[in-house]
Amino acid sequence: MENKGSKLRWWILITVIVGTFLGRLDQTIVNLALPKIINDFSISVSAAGWIATAYILANAVFVPIWGKLGDTIGRKKVYMIGFGLFIFGSVLAGLAWNLPSMIVFRVIQAIAGSADYPTAMAIIAVTFREGKERAQALGIWSSSFAAASVFGPLLGGPLIDNFGWRSVFLINLPIGILGMLMAMRFINESREEKKTHYFDWWGASVLGGMLSSLVLVLDKGMDWGWMSASSLICYFLVVILTGIFIRIENTVPEPIVDLKFFKIPAFVNTLLNNFVVFMGMMGALFLIPIFAQTFLGYDATETGYLFMPMAAALMLGAPIGGALTGRIQSRYVIFASTLVAAVGVFLFSHLDPRSGPLDIIIPLSIMAFGLGFGMAQRTNVIASVVDQHEIGIASSVLALTRNVAGAFGIAIFGSLLTNRIEENVLSINGFSHLYSHKLADIKTYIALIELKAQVNAYDYVFLVASALIFVGSFAVLFMKIKNEKIGVTVHVE
């Protein structure tokens, strides 16, 4: 009987991995399809950016809502609703006829996809109750993120080339049906034991408005101008709506985000560490493909191959980190993993136009291993320091932190790169001299200054990112987790 229950647990893990893999696979494949979509819809690159922006906004807004609903009405029920809605949205996106219809259908996909992370993590947490086994399961589940980043380019390219861009959406139908059948067969229902009579719709609505304003300005601020009227309106809305949200959550009987979480030092420190790590990582991952294609002459497919070892390193690191649960205190594992990630990002600060593939592959792999090594420990701490009936909403806060951190990283490091290039051009030009009046020599002179300015700017940004991640590692080093002992499940009194 025990053996049967043990096998069922691992089938549940495989089932939620299918769902997580499908959602992340969709995100990586769609980016490859954008050039074809631009041509078919006769739209600009800037307009096509709203396909991604709309997805990010909707995904960020609905993560905490799904997390609370899962704890309230049942995690399996919410997981199935999200899965079914995602398949429906995918089919609609594959049939989209213009940009507005595509944006609407991508929003449907994003709303549905945001149900996966908090419910999947909560399902794993209530299925694997023993601390060490839970961390191992979370580590294996986390590796599905990396697997999707590998298979996205590998599957997306041939699908788009042979069957058109619509196939990257329609492929979700057969995979999604398989995932739903597995969920129906293996996942057991779980929910908060206390009967819920109230859902915090006001809090959810205000949080949605605040997150929409924040993610929108982070995504579009560079195009608008950080001090433009549009950006200032977003800043104002973020501040005002945050204040209103805190007031609502402190007064309603069953808040959508229980603010008492933020009175738990281990919870806050883990979130801070997670925010810094993902901000640095997403900022770096945003810039590496641009550098590889701009200065090293790689095409999109070759650039994608550079990231495959990174995914393997992430898949290797996640289970190893999870296996250390019960042997080494979580804070030391997370601290060490963050330092490793910082080293990986730091190695990017030595890139130049003479760099070879290994100069990108090795730092990417080191960074990914560090990220994966601490991923299971971070999620396990979050799941362990809150009451079991609140694991869904707590995990949704973790997911929300990662999403916002990624948006911050791309926005901040993108702006930092642009500003640094301008400063470098002026600085290098001030110390350079050209003793020729030939047009060809003048063009070469200008090109060399621009090249050096850009390369030095990339190196500077990677240096700043590594320093930020290094500092972020100390957020967890002094973290105190009540009653954590070697071999004992982490919990709070």
Query: What are the strands, taking DSSP E only, across 38-168?
Result: none
Query: Element (H or E) spanning 459, and its range?
Result: helix 439-477
Mean pLDDT of 6-23: 81
Classify domain 261-493 by CATH number: 1.20.1250.20
Q: Which residues, at least 6 apart from 3, have a Cβ–Cβ distance to it below 8 Å?
A: none
pLDDT in tens, 408-458: 777 788 778 878 887 867 776 666 666 666 666 566 656 667 767 778 888
Residues 131, 489 contacting (CB under 8 angstroms): yes
- Mean pLDDT of the 216-227 span: 80
Burial 47-67 (b: 16+ CB within 10 A, else e): ebebbebbbbbbbbbbbbbbb
The percent of residues above 70 in pLDDT, for the chain, comes to 83
Read off the pLDDT of residues 228-244 as tens digits, 9 standing for 90 and up. 898 899 899 999 999 99
What is the mean predicted confidence (pLDDT) over 333-353?
89
Q: What pLDDT does residue 1 have?
A: 42
Question: 42: alpha, beta or left, given left = phi > 0 and alpha = psi -120 to 50?
Answer: left
pLDDT value, residue 92:
94
Quote the mean pLDDT of the chain. Answer: 78
> At the topology level of CATH, where does 1-194 sit?
Growth Hormone; Chain: A; (1.20.1250)
Cβ atoms 211, 53 nearer than 8 A: no
Give the pLDDT of residue 486.
41
Check if the beta carbon of residue 269 is closer than 8 Å to that of residue 479: yes
By three-state DSSP, how is residue 44 classified?
coil
Report the number of secondary-structure helices (H) and strands (E) in the chain: 17, 0
Which among 67, 52, 65, 116 has a CA at the least distance from the CA of 87? 116
| Res. 197 pLDDT band, cuts 50 70 90 | low
- Better-predicted residue by pLDDT, 250 or 398: 250
Amino acid at 373: F
Between CA 65 and CA 393 the distance in angstroms is 8
Side chain identity at residue 437, one-letter code:
H
Phi, psi angle pair for 43, to nearest 5°: -120, 165
Give the start-to-end residue ranges of the domains of the chain.
Answer: 1-194, 200-253, 261-493
pTM (predicted TM-score) = 0.71
**DSSP 8-state code for residue 187:** P
